């Protein structure tokens, strides 16, 4: 007997309109679409955006407005600003969101695991005790324990206090 796993929330992924060119440049330009694009924060150097396919609830990214795939060519001012945002974001995730730990990482280039290799970005992944299991590696499936939109609004509401 064939087993079927229904995942209606994946419908948007399959049917969603594709962006021409760099998705991060698209988000950087669409300043009037922050809610739709799940942008948490913007300034002259960077923006913070929720990861659409998160590892854990609250996973977001710091992305420079400048399109580059080379960290070594990013202006020092932008890199230092991203680092300062990372510090503030860790505090937000720990104090405001209740994370017990945070993974921070950048995958520079497709061979390093970057899903969007053409535009560098920094991941901030909140972590909790026992939040991992084998389902991700065995079944290529992530268990997301809460509603994405609720998490987006919760973190967005924390931004004025921490960023």
Task: Enumerate the β-bridge partners of residue 125.
Answer: 103
d(CA 157, CA 159): 6
Dihedral of alpha carbons 89, 95, 99, 102, sign:
positive
| CA-to-CA separations, 116 to 21, 67, 70, 90, 109, in angstroms, rounded | 11, 12, 13, 23, 8
Q: Which ranges of the chain would DSSP assign to H, the alpha helix?
A: 11-15, 23-29, 34-37, 76-91, 135-139, 148-162
Closest CA to 106 of 78, 71, 80: 71
| Catalytic sites, residue numbers | 121
């Amino acid at each position: 007997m064939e087993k079927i796993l229904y995942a209606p929330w994946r419908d948007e992924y399959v049917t969603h309109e594709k962006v021409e060119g760099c998705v991060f440049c698209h988000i950087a330009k669409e300043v009037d679409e922050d809610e739709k694009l799940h942008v948490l924060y913007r300034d002259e150097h960077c923006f913070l955006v929720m990861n659409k396919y998160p590892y854990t609830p609250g996973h977001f990214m710091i992305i420079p407005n400048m399109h580059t795939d080379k960290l070594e060519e990013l202006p020092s001012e932008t890199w230092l600003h991203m680092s300062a945002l990372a510090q503030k974001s860790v505090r937000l995730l720990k104090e405001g969101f209740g994370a017990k730990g945070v993974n921070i990482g950048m995958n520079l280039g497709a061979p390093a695991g970057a899903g969007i290799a053409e535009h560098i970005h920094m991941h901030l992944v909140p972590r909790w005790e026992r939040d991992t299991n084998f389902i991700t590696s065995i079944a290529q499936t992530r268990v997301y324990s809460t509603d994405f939109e609720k998490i987006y609004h919760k973190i967005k509401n924390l931004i004025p206090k921490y960023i």
